[in-house]
């Protein structure tokens, strides 16, 4: 008998079936309640949290499909199994397409019931866990060293949570300055390898002949000047994580050697005869267009598929403008402490200027601008006079648009929506707010005009 505490609600208008199912499930150790029609079942589901509902397909007031529909619309986290007569199996299959976990046919076989219920409850536990994680992430403004509350960053956080404690290699894509190394470090710290080394290698920082030495090391006497043996980064990262930044900058020859090291989990140092075995997880990153790099044969396909078990794309800062104030506040606090200052904030004009600037250098550029501003500011608030000239001289485009007489209302609306999106750096939430419409309406209109990518 199970010692489980899961709660199950049985809804059936046939007294003998209802009584038999209740007794059977109680014997299995579940907490069981009953309802004699669909309306009573819905009332109980609203009043209490049930892990599982066994619902008869045909009942008075609300049938099984109607209950399932209400559960979906009200986002109730209750798993549903439909009970049906043999003549209604097609309808029961439709119920599964609508979200029911499975169905049982009458008369219900006890062995089938004992098999299906633990599986349904396990599915429910996973669903609840996923929803709880989503809620936790929605409330985050910072995740490890990553800062942001935008939907794009929440998606990044969820991917990190999902992949961190697996053995999968990861490729992180994104423009320079978006924080790819911070993602790599977050993956490492969330993994079971967290106590082992995290070794970062910028592949674009070394000439090709030196990069191979940096990755795999060398033996004493391997080349002129090799007076001692030197372990490489793969060796130093054993049982930990190696972060290969800008993998697209490596020669195809070095890529082939990395591929071999990943496939065979062993390599030789330069000038070495002995093979060294390593257990290394690889997180790679690039600011290049991966499809273009593959098409142009600058990145080996076999290496790409070995690395890109999971791909995480970091959005540029201009596509998550709502995160800029969070980043400004975090950097201001950090550089206040670092420089022993007590600057309180930014002037309205300064904050407005930083919000409108497109940040082609992304988070790294914003961080450098705030550091410079903190150092140069001698008052309580940062003002525009301490911002770099490139920001002060940036030509912020006028928000005005010209619509000639004779333009149709539909065409005018289309131009207004597209222009507003441009001004808001393609941030749909801010564009919808500026237009005075809901985000859903904006998506509908973009779909109508053939521009909605989502």
Burial of 171 (0-12, 13-18, 19+ CB in 10 A): buried
Average pLDDT over residues 304-311: 91
Give which of 305, 231, 296 is closest to 262, Cα–Cα: 305
CATH architecture, range 7-134 = 3-Layer(aba) Sandwich (3.40)
pLDDT tens figures, 204-259: 888 877 888 889 888 887 777 777 888 889 999 999 999 999 998 888 988 998 99
What is each CA distance from 8 to 49, 50, 131, 221, 408, in whole angstroms? 9, 6, 20, 72, 58
Q: Of 30, 90, 27, which Cα lies nearest the Cα of 54?
A: 30
Q: Which tokens belong to 249? A: 């900058």
According to the model, what pLDDT value does residue 249 have? Answer: 86
Q: What is the pLDDT, as a whole number, of residue 2?
A: 44
Instruction: Report the C-alpha gap between 378 and 375 in whole angstroms.
Output: 8
Architecture of domain 397-454: Orthogonal Bundle (1.10)
**pLDDT tens per residue, range 375-394:** 999 999 999 999 999 998 88
CATH of 323-392, one of 1.10.8.60, 2.60.120.1060, 3.90.1200.10, 1.10.357.10: 1.10.8.60
Contacts of 92 (CB under 8 A, 6+ apart): 57, 82, 84, 100, 103, 105
Tokens of residue 389, six digits: 């000239």
What is the pLDDT at residue 325? Answer: 92
Q: Which residues contact 245 (CB under 8 A, 6 or more apart)?
A: 180, 181, 200, 201, 202, 203, 204, 284, 285
pLDDT of residue 107: 86
**In which region does residue 202 sit, left (phi positive, over 0), alpha (psi from -120 to 50) or beta (all else)?**
beta
Identical fold for domains 7-134 and 142-313, yes or no, is yes
Query: Is 90 strand, coil or helix?
Result: helix
CA distance 439 to 432: 5
Cα distance between residue 328 and residue 416, in whole Å? 30
- How long a stretch of residues is the chain? 454
Determine the pLDDT at residue 134: 65
Q: What is the arithmetic mean of pLDDT over 322-331?
A: 92
Look at residue 3 in the predicted model and tell me its pLDDT.
45
* Domain range list for the chain: 7-134, 142-313, 323-392, 397-454
How high is the mean pLDDT of the chain? 87
Instruction: Give dist(CA 371, CA 354) in Å, integer.
Output: 14
Q: Around Cβ 30, how many Cβ atoms within 10 Å?
A: 19
Least confident of 130-139, 179-188, 299-308: 130-139
DSSP 3-state of 34: strand
Q: Quote the strand ranges of 42-144, DSSP E.
A: 52-56, 79-84, 102-105, 142-143
- CATH class of residue range 142-313: alpha beta
Alpha carbon distance 367, 177 (integer Å): 10
Instruction: Write out the two tokens for 237.
Output: 């990262």
């Amino acid at each position: 008998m199970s010692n489980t505490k899961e709660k199950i609600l049985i809804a059936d208008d046939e007294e003998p079936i209802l009584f038999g199912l209740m007794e059977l499930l109680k014997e299995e150790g579940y907490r069981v309640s009953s309802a004699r029609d669909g309306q009573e079942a819905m009332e109980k589901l609203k009043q209490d949290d049930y892990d599982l509902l066994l619902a008869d397909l045909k009942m008075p007031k609300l049938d099984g499909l109607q209950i399932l529909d209400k559960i979906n619309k009200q986002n109730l986290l209750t798993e549903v199994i439909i009970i049906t007569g043999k003549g209604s199996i097609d309808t029961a299959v439709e119920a599964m397409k609508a979200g029911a976990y499975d169905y049982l046919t009458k008369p219900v076989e006890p062995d089938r019931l004992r098999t299906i219920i633990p599986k349904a409850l396990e599915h429910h536990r996973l669903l609840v866990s996923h929803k709880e994680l989503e809620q936790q992430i929605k409330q985050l403004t910072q995740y490890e060293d990553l800062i942001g509350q935008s939907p794009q960053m929440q998606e990044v956080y969820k991917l990190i949570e999902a992949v961190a404690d697996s053995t999968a290699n990861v490729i992180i894509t994104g423009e320079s300055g978006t924080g790819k190394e911070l993602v790599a470090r977050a993956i490492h710290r969330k993994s079971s390898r967290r106590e082992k080394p995290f070794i970062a290698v910028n592949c674009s920082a070394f000439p090709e002949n030196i990069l191979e030495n940096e990755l795999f090391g060398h033996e004493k006497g391997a080349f002129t000047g090799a007076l001692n043996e030197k372990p490489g980064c793969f060796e130093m990262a054993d049982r930990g994580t190696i972060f290969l930044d800008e993998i697209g900058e490596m020669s195809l020859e070095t890529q082939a050697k990395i591929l071999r090291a990943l496939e065979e989990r062993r390599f030789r140092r330069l000038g070495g005869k002995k093979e060294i075995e390593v257990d290394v997880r690889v997180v790679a990153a690039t600011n290049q267009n991966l499809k273009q790099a593959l098409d142009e044969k600058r990145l080996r396909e076999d290496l790409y598929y070995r690395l890109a078990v999971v791909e995480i794309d970091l959005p540029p800062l201009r596509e998550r403008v709502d995160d800029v104030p969070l980043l400004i506040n975090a950097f201001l606090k950090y550089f206040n402490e670092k420089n022993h200052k007590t600057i309180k904030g930014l002037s309205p004009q300064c904050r407005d200027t930083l919000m409108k600037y497109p940040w082609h250098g992304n988070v790294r550029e914003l961080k450098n601008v705030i550091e410079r501003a903190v150092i140069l500011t001698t008052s309580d608030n940062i003002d525009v006079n301490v911002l770099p000239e490139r920001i002060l001289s940036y030509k912020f485009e006028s928000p005005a648009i010209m619509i000639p007489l004779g333009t149709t209302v539909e065409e005018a609306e289309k131009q207004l929506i597209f222009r507003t999106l441009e001004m808001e750096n393609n941030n749909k939430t801010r564009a919808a707010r500026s237009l005075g419409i809901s985000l859903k309406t904006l998506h509908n209109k973009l779909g109508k005009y053939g521009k909605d990518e989502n």
